[in-house]
Structures are given as C-alpha cells and as structure tokens.
Structure 1
Amino acid sequence: MIDLQGKKALVTGGGTGIGRGIALALAKAGADVVVHYGSNAKGAEEVVRLIEDMGRQSLAVQGDVLKKDDITAFMKETAAFFNHELDILVNNAGHLVQRAPVEEMSEELWHRIMDVNVTSTFLVSQQAIPLMKTTKGKIVNMTSIAAHNGGGPGAAAYAASKAAVLTFSKALAKELAPHSITVNAVSPGFIGQTPFHDTFTTSEGRVNTVNSIPLKREGNPDDVAGAVLYLVSDLANYLTGETIEINGGMYMR
C-alpha cells in the first residue's frame, strides 16, 4: 500500500474529473491536498470536504492558469497553507477548448489551447519549484494519447500542446535532477466519467472508441490516479523523465 502520510500536494484542476480522482486518491494515501480550480468552486469545495472527512487537511484555491498573477496568488496561498513546502505537484489543469480543423482555426484559438495546456504547466511548475527544493518533491504533468496519435478530428492544436507537455516534462526532469526533484507525466487515453468526453465526444464516437480498445472499456479517473500515486511515492524515486500510458491498450510503445 502506498503511504503518503505527511506529504503536501497541490492538484490543479482538482475539482472535477481526473483532477478530482487524483486529489481524493492522494488524500486516501495520507497526503494533505490543496485543490485548485478555475471556475468550479462547488466541485472544489466538495473535494475539500471529502478530503477533510478522511482526516486530512485541505484547501480550495482559485485562479486562471492562463494568468501569471492568478497563479502567483494561489501559489502564495498554497505556500502559506503548507508552511512554504510542497512535496507533490500535479499539473492536471488543461482543456481541448474547441474542435477546429487547422484550415479554419483562428490564431487566437491556437494560442489559447497551447496556453491552457503548455504555458500553464510551465508557469505553475516555475512557481512551485522553490517550494520543492527542500522536500525533494515530485512533479506529475498531464499529457495525452493525442500526443502520440494526433488526437481526434479537429484536435491538432490539442495534440500538439500535449506533445509539448511530454517533451517539457523530459527537459524539466533533467533540469531538476540535481535537486532530487523528479518530473514525470501520465498520458491518459479514453477516460470516461469526465466533462471532457461529455462535451467533445458523440455517443457514436464513444461506442466506436471503446470497441477499439483491447481491454474493451473506458478508463476512469481512478485508473489515472493509480499511476499518479505510484509516481509520487517512494516506489518511483529512481524514475524521472518518463511517461506512463493509461489507455487500455489503445497505444503501446
């Protein structure tokens, strides 16, 4: 059993979907968790309540991960809550935003998708690093199967952004290795029980996708959370710059 007793964690986008699953899993393993949210205050507060019911400390913090000042503000809240230490950072916040073929995509949409997935990961990591040097912390970034296969229709910008997150994770792993901070990524495939597919995937597309998965089922947030738990535990102390694929066999390296 993974034991994270005494660990201090921040999960961005922790109020819903995969982020919610990760935040709750970290708390179940013993960590105290700051739950970041962008607009879903109700979801974040519910996650905080559930974590506190487990006997752990938790706090909801709000901020737009596209705005540096917002990130600075919620990182200050996190630092104060955790006595200026952070053991675990999960950069989960991200979004497809909108499907659009490249020929029709506006430059504004391209930049928004890149920013919400890549720039946010860079900015949050940048401000978390000083809090993690004393703890020899662990960073987990969220990429996607789209980084490998180009994604579905109209998802070129999203696929490119998630490929950038994957490569950024490798570069950051090298940079932070002298501080004994590890940086890894998880790469979900088709994960159900999330707003993502409720918004962007048709019922027919859902059925067709599941039929193409060797394990013949959708993934769920707990499937992703299990991989994150491993990466932030002592079991993964010698693992850095790697990506764990969580897709039921849809993509095999």
Structure 2
Amino acid sequence: MSNLGKYKCKRLDGKVAIVTASSLGIGYCIAERLAHEGAKVVISSRKKHLVDKAVEKLREQGLEVHGTVCHVGLEEDREKLFKLATDLYGGLDILVSNAAINPSFGSVFDTEEETWDKIFEINVKDTFLLCKEALPYLEKRKGGSIVIVSSIAGFTPFEVIGAYSISKTALFGMVKAFVPELTKRNIRINAIAPGVIKTKFTQAMWETRDIEKSTEAIIPMKRLGRPEECSGAVAFLVSDDASYVTGETIVIGGGLVSRL
C-alpha cells in the first residue's frame, strides 16, 4: 500500500475517473492517487478477484472507489465500464488508459504474426476505441482529460520487446493526432512514458539479479522505478494545474535516455 497520507491536495474534488488495468501496479497506484486527491474512481481489470482485492484495499483507506471486470478488447465490457461510472457517480471527467499486453519476449523477428496482431489490437486499437467511446461522456461534462500510459520503450525501443515498443511509439502519434479534434471539445489528452518500473508486468526484465543489475547500470538514478512514482504525473496532467498542457508526454524513467 502506498504511503499517500502526506498528499493533502484535493485538486480533483468532484471529478469522476476511470482507470483501466488498475487492480495492480502502475494502474492501481494511479487510481489510488486520483482518489486521494478527491476523485471518485472506477477501477477495472480482466480478473474479478484482483478487482475485488484492489477495491477492498482502496476502501480501507477511506477512498471513494468502485470496481468492475473489463477486458478492453470487448466492446460490451467497455460500454459497461462507462455506464457504471455514470450510473454511480453521475458522469465522467477523466479517462486513464493503462491496459496493455506484451506476450512476446526476445528477438523482434521471432515475433509471430498472431502476436503482432494481438499486441496492436490491445495496445493501440483498443486504446483508440476507449478514447473514442469516452467522448460523449466527457462532452456531457463540458470537457475533461485523457491520459494514455505509454512507455519509454516507445522512444528508445528495447531489443527484447520490439513489437511492444513499436506499439507504444504508435501511442505518441495517437496523442498528437487527437489534439486538434479534442481541443474543439474542451478535452485535453496527454501521455506518460514510464521507464523500467518494478511491477509484475516487467518481471521478465528484473526477475534475476543479474538482469536487474544490468538494467540499473544504464539508468542514471541507478535503480528501478516504483509504480507509485508514476501516479503524481497523472494527477498533475488531469488537474487544472495542467490546464494549458495537451498533446504532451511526461517521461518517468530515472534519467534513462529517451529523447533530447
């Protein structure tokens, strides 16, 4: 459980947020931070027992959260997610798209066609559909904010997760492409690009000490990131403190090379 008691800021009072893939890791910490800042949050995951456990932990902190099973690749699940937020809390102000997969680990040229299709369907196409389907709900609130969770690998692809890296590069283009249309609707869209964060999702990159040490060696801060270290950037981006920020990406990588 993150120690967020020191955060007294309530920038998100009265806001309603959806965070996908939020029963564990980065998504969970984002949901937790948004709720601590006053938002009512709907969390989701493909596995009911993980959703239930996450909701229980968050409610133990006195946070206003609800959870539901949602596979972002299923239209009916996405519809249910948006309907739940509006039925429970009266609307939607914030969407954080965090769901992603990486079933391939190794040479990019060993990635099967079926795997390419699956990665791009979930990481790119379903992110697009979530954003598109959120628009009517955000517009009813006269605007809102979207944050897409990409990856530092989208800037500097990692050799062993080539297809995943390319899908995350596509998300940077998506954010930029959405800006003109969303701005007309008073909706801001931004992204975060986490580096190597110590979660179950990145376990293959740090599960042995030798790999972890070699990974740390190329990070100027000489350590892996923690999931909660991604949450503050999202809370900023969806708040009024970022009212003139759209189309941008915040890198959270401990100084790992990403871009000039």
TM-score interval for Structure 1 and Structure 2 normalised by the shorter chain: over 0.9
Residue 246 of structure 2 corresponds to residue 240 of structure 1:
yes
Counterpart for residue 91 of structure 1: 97
Q: Shift of residue 236 of structure 1?
A: 0.2
Distance 1:103 1:152, change over 3 A: closer
Counterpart for residue 20 of structure 1: 28
The one-letter code of the counterpart of 2:18 is L
In 2: Cα distance, 1:162 partner to 1:134 partner: 30
Residue 202 of structure 2 corresponds to residue 197 of structure 1:
yes
In 2: Cα distance, 1:227 partner to 1:219 partner: 13
Determine what percentage of the aligned residue pairs are the same residue.
Answer: 35
Q: Shift of residue 115 of structure 1?
A: 1.2
Conserved? CA contact 1:91–1:121, under 8 Å: yes
Match of 2:224 among 195, 218, 225: 218
Counterpart for residue 129 of structure 1: 135
Distance 1:225 1:90, change over 3 A: same
Could you list the runs of 5+ residues in structure 2 that have no partner in the other structure? 1-8
The one-letter code of the counterpart of 2:156 is N
SS of the residue 2:140 aligns to: coil
Structure-1-length-normalised TM-score:
0.93
Structure-2-length-normalised TM-score:
0.90
Distance 1:16 1:208, change over 3 A: same
Counterpart for residue 8 of structure 1: 16
Counterpart for residue 57 of structure 2: 50
Counterpart for residue 61 of structure 1: 68
In 1: Cα distance, 2:140 partner to 2:248 partner: 23
Conserved? CA contact 2:152–2:253, under 8 Å: yes
Distance 1:178 1:43, change over 3 A: same
Q: Shift of residue 201 of structure 1?
A: 4.1
The 5 A counterparts of 1:78-157 are 78-83=85-90, 85-135=91-141, 136-153=143-160, 155-157=161-163
Counterpart for residue 73 of structure 1: 80
CA deviation map 1:178-201 (0-9, x unaligned): 111100000000101x11122454
Could you list the runs of 5+ residues in structure 1 that have no partner in the other structure? none
In 2: Cα distance, 1:77 partner to 1:130 partner: 14
Counterpart for residue 178 of structure 2: 172
Give me the CA root mean square deviation. 1.6
Distance 1:190 1:200, change over 3 A: closer
In 1: Cα distance, 2:56 partner to 2:27 partner: 15
Counterpart for residue 231 of structure 1: 237
Q: Shift of residue 18 of structure 1?
A: 0.4
Conserved? CA contact 2:17–2:41, under 8 Å: yes
Tell me the matched-pair count: 249
Q: Shift of residue 2 of structure 1?
A: 4.9
Q: Shift of residue 102 of structure 1?
A: 3.3
In 2: Cα distance, 1:238 partner to 1:232 partner: 11
In 2: Cα distance, 1:5 partner to 1:47 partner: 21
Q: Shift of residue 118 of structure 1?
A: 0.7
Q: Shift of residue 169 of structure 1?
A: 1.1
In 1: Cα distance, 2:109 partner to 2:247 partner: 34
